[in-house]
Amino acid sequence: MLSEILEVIGPMPVILGILLFLVAAVKHSSLFSQSSKPGRFTPVAEARQLPHSIPSKIPYVGHMMGYVRDGHSYFSSLCGKTSQPVFTICMAKVKLSLVKPELARDLPKVRHLSLGPLVLQLFRRSLNLGEFSCSLLKEEDEMSRKFAPEISRLFREEFIPNRNLRKYVEEIDVYVHREIMALEGLQTIHLEDWIFKTLVGALGKSLWGGDDGPFGAPEFVAHLRMFLMNMKQLNAPATFMIDKKLLASRSFVRERLEHFSFEKYTEKCEAGTGAIEETFLGRVQALCLEHGAAAEGWTDYQLLLIAGLSPNVMAASTWMFHHLLADPELMTQVRDEVGDCVKKSNGSIDLADMSDSCPLLSATWLEVLRFHGGFSLGRYVHEDTDLASKYLLKKGSYVLAPLRPHHFDRQSWGFAVDEFIPGRFLKANGTLDEIQRRKLRVYGVFGTLCPGRYLAVHMAMALTVRLLLAFHMAPLNASYVPPGESKDTVAGLATPEFDVEVSITKRETSYDGLKIRFKSSRQTF
Ligand code: HEM
Ligand SMILES: *[C@@H]1O[C@H](CO)[C@@H](O)[C@H](O)[C@H]1NC(C)=O
Ligand SMILES: *[C@@H]1O[C@H](CO)[C@@H](O)[C@H](O)[C@H]1NC(C)=O
Ligand SMILES: *[C@@H]1O[C@H](CO)[C@@H](O)[C@H](O)[C@H]1NC(C)=O
């Protein structure tokens, strides 16, 4: 019996590693203390019931093994096995309440939830976070609890208004354009590797000092990719279990970020101005310093930002090309749609207007988000609280909302939910169906939405339009099907299981002068 289990789970060190990690976490962290303080009688809490608990076949570690084996789909398969709208499971000593779509509308109203402690669990080891960042993320005191909302506000104010978006989109497109020009003369690219380099590089340059910043160095981006794509291994509890190359990449990235901020800092002191406050990153840094971060804390925070904001948009864009490559007819239709649009507007395209001007391309993007949006979102419960005025969520536990049940529900999406069909986001006359779009939950279910959601789609569209118009692309393997999803993705959209090499040939119709603009005041996402 046990050997069978291990067979499905794979290499022993992984499962052992995770076990050790959780046991160590339980020992050393007060975060996991499950029992809230006994005592004060609160009639409100009295009326609430604890969610039904689902035991695992193998006591204590069964659910954890399920998660290691199946990734996030383990959680959604549990959702399918019970009629309860919310239920709890224990993974070792960690208690999770899983919330199904029936109660998702109530999630924004739940109090005493925070994201920090969950971020800490996901990234503490893999990013090698220092003590300061850990205490800030635990959000145990008033001061650190204020930090997260202030950061959120900073991001919303920076990435939601159109005038700022325009600046970022145009800047990012300059970098994307440059990478596309650099493809000329090449016969093949490694899809994911190239998209990572291009998109994460462009976003990084636009935030971190352009070509002179850390993202201006190709080896920085290469090391970053190396370690961001292997976060699960970096979570191993003991250093000897981690590939030395990964550790070296992480150190490289950390050092460059540290070095960069140091340079910025001395520049500022020499100039004797408040220049540091004038850039967005400077404002984030100022906020960190205000909350007591030292140099190390700031490096940690930069890493958290990079790990949090780049992989999703990179993964979604890569999936988009996998699906276009797997369906040449779709690829042709999308390319024609984009080409027509560019011709009609004299060699330019307005990213703010894509859902009207290129509905099929927009629908393909949305279908990528639905189809690969099978991850889970979560929060830490830092005080006893209640859900839907009915269920009690205990202090010290986590709430988890698996997104797969939202995105693969037959009642809500109708036909063939397991197939990739962009057309489900289109109306009969070919325009984009807003009602379908609103069913997506990839940007959040806890009341706040990803502040980068507009920037993400515009970046992805700029890249897709430029690449499609400049090159014919074909998989090297004639019987091409998109790769499966990696089970190792720590947060957000799963990445493809492996990278593929794709042949590229320059198209005759030249769109070299293509202008990508951001004009109209309408928002799309
Ligand atoms: C398709 C791409 C993206 C997806 C699917 C996505 C999704 C998400 C999700 C699910 C959250 C957490 C929401 C929650 O738990 O409540 C989040 C948070 C966040 N995202 Fe994105 N994101 C994407 C791209 C981006 C980009 C390009 C940026 C860059 C600006 C960004 C910046 C952020 C930030 C700063 C947060 C934290 C917000 C906070 O603490 O209030 N995201 N994103
Ligand atoms: C395109 O350019 C031509 C000539 O420069 C001009 O007459 C026409 O109005 C332009 N069309 C649009 C949609 O900008
Ligand atoms: C497409 O159909 C919708 C109703 O389903 C209508 O509101 C819209 O105006 C139509 N658009 C076009 C371009 O025909
Ligand atoms: C081509 O793809 C098929 C199906 O995915 C696979 O079985 C085969 O090994 C691939 N061949 C090469 C040369 O990659």
Instruction: Summarize pLDDT for 71-119 with one digit per residue, the tens.
Output: 889 999 999 999 999 999 999 889 999 999 999 999 999 999 999 999 9
Quote the pLDDT of residue 294. 76
- From ligand 2's centre to the CA of 350, what distance in Å? 15
Distance between start and end Cα atoms, the chain: 48
Ligand 4 centre to CA of 480 (Å) is 7
Q: Whose CA is nearest to atom 12 of ligand 3?
A: 429
Residue 22: what pLDDT? 47
Query: What's the pLDDT tens digit per position in 135-175?
Result: 889 888 888 888 889 999 999 999 999 889 999 999 999 99
Distance CA 180, CA 460 (A): 14
Mutate to test the pocket of ligand 3, among 425, 431, 434, 435 (most ligand atoms within 8 A of CB): 431
Would you state the pLDDT for residue 13?
A: 36
Is ligand 4 within 6 A of the CB of residue 295?
Answer: no
pLDDT at 493: 94
Residue with tokens 């205000």: 290
Sheet architecture: strand order including 188-190:
188-190, 501-506, 471-475
User: For residue 522, what pLDDT is reported?
Assistant: 58
Atom from ligand 2 closest to the CA of residue 345:
13
CB of 472 within 6 A of ligand 3: the answer is no
Supply the pLDDT for residue 9.
Answer: 41
Q: What is the pLDDT of residue 479?
A: 84
Q: How far is the CA of 499 from the centre of ligand 4 (A)?
A: 13
Give 464-515 pLDDT, tens digit per residue: 999 999 999 999 988 899 999 998 888 899 999 999 999 999 998 767 789 9
- Cα-Cα-Cα-Cα torsion 135, 140, 141, 142, nearest 10 degrees, comes to 110
Closest C-alpha residue for ligand 2 atom 7: 346
Residue 36 confidence (pLDDT) = 43
Q: Counting Cβ atoms within 10 Å, is residue 181 exposed (0-12), middle (13-18) or buried (19+)?
A: exposed
Question: Which portions of the chain are predicted below pLDDT 50?
Answer: 1-41, 275, 524-525
CB 249 within 8 A of CB 223: yes
Residue with tokens 């022993």: 12
**Which string of b and e fits 248-275 if b means at least 16 CB within 10 Å?**
ebbebbbebbbebbeebeeebeeeeeee
Q: Give the type of residue at 93.
A: K
Ligand nearest the Cα atom of residue 497 = 4
- Predicted model pTM: 0.89
Q: What is the pLDDT of residue 525?
A: 47
Question: In 3-state terms, what secondary structure has residue 55?
Answer: coil
Q: Is the CB of 430 under 6 A from ligand 3?
A: no
**Contact, 85 vs 102, CB < 8 A?**
yes
- What confidence score (pLDDT) does residue 222 get? 96
For ligand 4, whether the C-beta of 477 sits within 6 Å is yes
Average pLDDT, the chain: 86
CB 246 within 8 A of CB 239: no
3-state SS, one letter per residue, for 466-486: HHHHHEEEEECCCCCCCCCEC
Q: Which of 39, 10, 17, 18 is CA-nearest to residue 94?
A: 18
- Spell out a b/e string for 56-81, using b for 16 or more CB atoms within 10 Å of the CB, else e: beeeebbbbbbbbeebbbbbbebbee
- Confidence (pLDDT) at 209: 87
Q: So what's the pLDDT on residue 15?
A: 42
Confidence (pLDDT) at 511: 77
Name the nearest CA neighbour of 372 among 305, 312, 329. 312
| Nearest alpha carbon, ligand 2 atom 6 | 346
Q: Are 112 and 385 in contact (CB under 8 A)?
A: yes
Nearest ligand to residue 148 Cα:
1
